[in-house]
Amino acid sequence: MRWGVSPLLDTAPAPAGGDGAGHVVTSSPDAMRIVVVVLVTVVFCTLLYCIYCWRWRKRNAIKRSLFESLWPRSSSDLPLMDLASILAATDNFSKANKLGEGGFGPVYKGVLRGGLEIAVKRLSARSRQGAAEFRNEVELIAKLQHRNLVRLLGWCAERDEKLLIYEYLPNRSLDAILFDRNKSRQLGWSTRHNIILGIARGILYLHEDSLLKIVHRDKASNVLLDDKMNPKISDFGMAKIFEEESGGINNTGRVVGTYGYMAPEFALEGVFSVKSDVFSFGVLVLEILSGQRNGALYLEEHHQSLIRGMEVVDQRSCGRFHGPVAWTIVLEGRGVAVLPRWLALRAGKP
């Protein structure tokens, strides 16, 4: 019986002066220390993991709160893009990809992984346009669909960044071509005519056909051109929604915009309506016809205001014009002749 279990028993003779259990007794403190170290390490790692999870959830809760405060529930179908993809597309907002600067902040060109070209508007920390205007622009554009309005592809609100992602338009803004002595030669009369019509269609949609009635207050830098010189209205950050219940006339406590394009009643009293856009559109049409910036934008005396009567024809435009009689008159340099008599008299013309 003893022989059958002998492999399981330590039958080696104990060292002299000790008993057979001496080996087990001397190894117990080492084993206990190992157990304690392992337990402490496990508890410490578990505690660190719990702290990390708590902070991660808290950070995500803050981020979700920010998204909910910036994003209207009705527009949740618009893609939310992650910041990492935008940084990769714009090469970390490199200067080489910068397209320009607007009231919202800088605009960058980017290329997404699939090859799609985009324009990214980045809210500047120094911009006067804050979270309220950011939300305003997102809400507005998400609900607007028209061929003469710039298309919003997505948005991003992560960390300290607030970004709007648009379709990229290769010819950029109208003012970059219109007021450049060399580039403006691309704008023949037919092209200018089409640009004016396109802008008018976009404004009409904002006033009459969209779900919201919007006063945009256009200016040349807010009109972008695609590869075929088709105009698209952009920059809705300062757009105003007007209520029909008030007779289409509203008042704002803060006058924001560009002098020279602002109707007098809006610039002086903050009163705006669809007629405010008619005024701004009229100034823009004069600029397109003349190829000159409205001098009322500046304070210098040597700048002349288009509204006060400038020769409304750009001699630099190329190409033969074929169109209505009014346009033929403009081509001949007699643009004031198509104006109402009272306006022509105010402009100092017969």
pLDDT of residue 208: 83
Residues 156 and 287 in one domain: no
H/E stretch holding 63: helix 22-70
Q: Which residues of the chain have pLDDT under 50?
A: 1-3, 5-11, 18, 20-26, 67, 70-76, 243-255, 297-304, 309-312, 319-323, 343, 346-350
Is position 32 within any domain? no
Supply the DSSP string of 272-307, one letter for each residue.
E-HHHHHHHHHHHHHHHHH-S--GGG---TTSPPGG
User: Of the candidates 167, 197, 225, which is a domain's last residue?
Assistant: 167
- CATH assignment at residue 240: 1.10.510.10
**Amino acid making up residue 96:** A
How many helical (H) and strand (E) elements, i.e. helices and strands, does the chain have? 10, 11
**Contact at 8 Å (CB) between 294 and 307?**
yes
DSSP state of 80: B
Catalytic residues: 218
- CATH assignment at residue 90: 3.30.200.20
Residues 221 and 293 in one domain: yes
Residues 134 and 232 in one domain: no
Side-chain-facing half-sphere of 136: CA atoms under 13 Å: 15
Tell me the pLDDT tens digit for each residue of 84-129. 999 999 999 999 999 988 766 889 999 998 899 999 988 766 655 5
Residues 245 and 324 in one domain: yes
User: Of the candidates 167, 191, 225, which is a domain's last residue?
Assistant: 167
- Domain span at 238: 174-346
DSSP state of 149: B
Residues 188 and 137 in one domain: no
Residues 162 and 246 in one domain: no
Tokens (6 digits) for 219: 């200016």
Residues 98 and 227 in one domain: no
pLDDT of residue 263: 67
Tell me the pLDDT tens digit for each residue of 258-312. 666 776 666 666 666 777 778 888 888 888 988 888 765 443 444 445 555 444 4
Residues 86 and 199 in one domain: no
Residues 257 and 196 in one domain: yes
Residues 341 and 289 in one domain: yes
Show the CA angle centred on residue 16, arms to residues 11 and 22, nearest 5°.
60
Distance CA 189, CA 321 (A): 6
pLDDT of residue 98: 93
Distance CA 161, CA 125 (A): 9
Show the CA angle centred on residue 207, arms to residues 289 and 255, nearest 5°.
80
**Contact at 8 Å (CB) between 276 and 266?**
yes
Overall number of domains in the chain: 2
Is position 42 within any domain? no
User: Of the candidates 167, 192, 218, which is a domain's last residue?
Assistant: 167
Is position 69 within any domain? no
Q: Is 89 helix (H, G, I), strand (E, B) or coil?
A: helix
Name the pTM for this structure. 0.62
Is position 328 within any domain? yes
Residues 324 and 234 in one domain: yes
Is position 13 within any domain? no
Distance CA 336, CA 328 (A): 12
